[in-house]
Amino acid sequence: MNHRLSGSTALALILFCTGAQAQVTPEEVWESWQALTTGAGQELAVGSATRNGDTLEVKGLVLTFKDETGGNLAANIDTMNFKDLGDGTVQVTMAESYPIALTIPADSEGGPTEVKVTVSQPGMTIIAGGSATETSYDFTAPSVTVKLDEVKDEAGKPVDATADIVMSEMTGKYLVAKTGDVSALDSSYTAKSMVINISGKDTETSTDVKATFSIADVAGTSKGNFLGADMMANMAAALNAGFTVDSNFTFGAMTFTADTVDAAGPSKVSGNASGGGFTLAMDKARVNYGTTLNGASFTVSSADIPFPQVTVAFGESAFNVLLPASKSDTPQDFAFLTKLVDLTVSDEVWGMFDPSGTLSREPATIILDAKGTGFWKQDIMDPNAQMDGAEPPGELTSLDLTQVLVKAAGAEVGATGALTFDNTDLVTFQGMPAPTGTIEVSIKGVNTLIDNLIAIGILPEDQAMGARMMLGMFARPGAGPDELTSTLEFKDKGFFANGQQLQ
């Protein structure tokens, strides 16, 4: 099911509607507001826009957004006023609440097809200043609430569900510059807290769900150049025409609880984290997306698990990917990072397969940090691009393994290295471009781990013998006890381990 409309688009619409645009006179403010909104891919319909003394009164405003799947989002704002304060600034006010209706095409996965919410923002103040070509905006809001009014399932039947999002003590600054068809936006915002409440009931399965999320110290920044809606319909063309976005979102302490009651009985999931965030950047050269979550702990209790509760915790998790965004004939940079640091699970889980405590229960860590170069042979952002053909859509030219680390149960495997690839040779390594380079591998504690796995009955002796033979083929003794090292080389169209040719 496509949730794009109900996610980032809805948030952008809410922020735009909280006064992200204005200019030096009421008419210029209104013109700029329209340009930036349509540049974000939304359409505008206006009942009337008339001057009344020092105020431009806009009535019957409808903002809509449609995507390629047939989804539709519409917000109806009864009034929006742009008042000339007489000192070079403009005050923007609007209805303290307005409805948003979301239509989602039905698909095989089921889910909601119609959603209606109300956005309330009592006491919001918006002041715009600057010039007609570069305008600054400041807004404050004691609270902004998004409340679920109605949701329907794929059959059009109302769902028994309630939800709301409340953001408190919001402040923000915006700078909007208009040059030709390009609207440049530089913004930042903060909120002291954000609380999400969700509850629902499924009468067919006799299931009740109630969840609460509380997040402190929400903050974000965003910079970008936005084009007209027609240009934004083709992302490849928009990037070539100058579309850019660079956004960052962070949050502080987070807690959540989710209680479920069904035929099997009650269950509960709760957790907390010290903070996290995500980044998104896109321009003609690159696409960069990343997330982080730190100091997290999750506890689950349910009649379906054989002990009272299970707790999983970790010190840090991160994911980041950097890719070229456009077609090129020359190598471009890419990067990939995924990590899960200091992962722990409850002793009850360990006790299921290791009741005697034979295995080391130290925190586990998995890290893959790589970078390299490559290029796309076609514009992957073009909606008409064919990505599933027989020929690969791009070429990999180099790969650097900055860090590979797997540490668990007393054993540790690490690797670093660098490779280049010959894309004219797809035969030697069975369809993969022929590599050249070296990878250094270090292994600690693996023989002890094998012995322990045999002792607790998880690893049969014959399989253990095969694993040790494989280690003997690829590795040699290291500097310390139960340490192994290996140098893996790709050269002269062959594969070597510690100088011995294996292919």
Q: Is residue 414 part of a domain?
A: no
**Token pair of 373 as six digits:** 């170069």
How confident is the model over 231-241, as a mean pLDDT? 79
Residue 287 confidence (pLDDT)? 94
Instruction: Determine the longest span between alpha carbons in the chain, in angstroms.
Output: 91
Task: Using alpha carbons, list the distances in angstroms from residue 336 to 178, 310, 396.
Answer: 35, 31, 14
Q: Is residue 417 part of a domain?
A: no
* Residue 22 pLDDT exceeds 50: no
As a whole number of angstroms, the distance between CA 411 and CA 397 comes to 33
The pLDDT tens digits of the residues spanning 432-460 come to: 899 999 999 999 999 999 989 999 988 89
Residue 438 confidence (pLDDT)? 96
* Residue 5 pLDDT exceeds 50: no
Q: Give the angle subtended at the CA of 15 by the CAs of 14 and 18, to the nearest 5°.
A: 90
57 bridge partner residues: 50, 81
How confident is the model over 137-150, as a mean pLDDT? 93
- The interaxial angle of helices 461-474 and 446-455, nearest 10 deg, is 170
**How many CB atoms are closer than 10 A to CB 500?**
10
Residue 3 confidence (pLDDT)? 45
* Residue 122 pLDDT exceeds 60: yes
Greater model confidence, 107 or 306: 306
The pLDDT tens digits of the residues spanning 387-446 come to: 666 677 889 999 999 999 999 999 999 999 999 999 998 888 888 899 999 999 999 999
Q: Is residue 431 part of a domain?
A: no
Q: Give the angle subtended at the CA of 40 by the CAs of 35 and 46, to the nearest 5°.
A: 50
Residue 108 confidence (pLDDT)? 53
Q: Is residue 105 part of a domain?
A: yes
Q: Is residue 50 part of a domain?
A: yes
* Residue 493 pLDDT exceeds 70: yes
Question: DSSP class of residue 5?
Answer: I
Residue 391 confidence (pLDDT)? 73
The pLDDT tens digits of the residues spanning 346-373 come to: 998 998 888 998 999 999 999 999 999 9
How confident is the model over 238-265, as a mean pLDDT? 91
As a whole number of angstroms, the distance between CA 366 and CA 58 comes to 56
Residues 258, 8, 112, 167, Cα dihedral to 10°: 50
Q: How many domains does the chain have?
A: 1
Helix, strand, or coil (residue 453): helix
Provide the pairing of β-strand 48-52 with 72-84: unpaired
Q: Is residue 382 part of a domain?
A: no
As a whole number of angstroms, the distance between CA 47 and CA 77 comes to 10
**Token pair of 232 as six digits:** 């934004």
Which structural domain range is residue 34 located in? 1-181
* Residue 378 pLDDT exceeds 80: yes
pLDDT bucket at 7, cuts 50 / 70 / 90: very low
Residue 263 confidence (pLDDT)? 81
How confident is the model over 375-382, as a mean pLDDT? 84
As a whole number of angstroms, the distance between CA 137 and CA 91 comes to 10
Q: Which of 85-89, 440-444, 452-456, 471-475 has the lowest mean pLDDT?
A: 471-475
Residue 106 confidence (pLDDT)? 73
The residue to which tokens 């806009």 are assigned: 58
Q: Is residue 31 part of a domain?
A: yes
Q: Is residue 480 part of a domain?
A: no
Q: Which of 63-67, 135-139, 354-358 has the highest mean pLDDT?
A: 354-358
Greater model confidence, 179 or 165: 165
